[in-house]
Amino acid sequence: MKQYSHLLDENFIRSNFHKIFLLFFLLITPLFINNALAQKSLLSISFSNIKIADEYYWFEDNIINSEIGYNYNIYNHLRIGGYTGIGIYEEWYGLKSDNSIELTYNFKHPISLHYGVNINIFILPLFFKTNIPRFDFYLSGKMGFISLLTSPGENLIPQRGNYFDYSVMLGSTIYLSKKIGLNTEIGYKNFEYHKGFNALYGLRFRF
């Protein structure tokens, strides 16, 4: 498995994650203030259940993840931004011999850190000159990293490390008011322990 050893220290990851989180929101705060009336900003809060698997140990589990993202309007149909999130999962110990595989629950629930950049391409403005205020339909692309903070050691599943992550999703938002909507995304996600379908749901706020 491809890992980035210089990011494996838990204290290093935690401290840098908080710095990224703080810097991100320090950068977007002026955008909220300057564009409150123009509604050029989107803030999303979402939840997902990411299936993870290790073929070597025939292992399957889930990462329960919560995420917050921000997008800024560049054009009428294009918004760019970033995201950060935190997840929780189970830690297992695996032992494989010639004739059997033994998996033992390690009674720990490490966290995972999710962060990166994203882009949203809104479909409806490409075909309609007038806005449809209560509905959005868009294509979303994300690229970043997932840091799994499994305990150090051999034969622990999933293995501790910082893994490249990307996804391509179709999303839709139904707005209950001018500023608050229900959001869903479905599509394809790829990182070391997951390659396939993924879905998330949550709330989206326009500013």
**What's the pLDDT tens digit per position in 168-193?**
999 999 999 989 999 999 999 999 99
Residues 6+ apart with CB under 8 A from 200: 46, 47, 48, 67, 169, 184, 185
**Full domain range(s) for residue 17:** 5-206
How large a percentage of the chain has pLDDT more than 70? 78
What's the CATH number where 56 sits? 2.40.160.20
pTM for this model (two decimals): 0.78
Say which range, 7-16, 51-60, 72-81, 193-202, has the weakest mean pLDDT: 7-16
* C-alpha–C-alpha distance, residues 125 and 163, integer Å: 35
CA dist 66 → 99, 107, 163 (Å):
39, 22, 18
119-142: pLDDT as tens digits? 999 998 888 777 667 899 999 999
Helix (H, G, I), strand (E, B) or coil at 77: coil
31-68: pLDDT as tens digits? 444 444 445 789 999 999 999 988 777 778 899 999 99
Domain count, the chain: 1
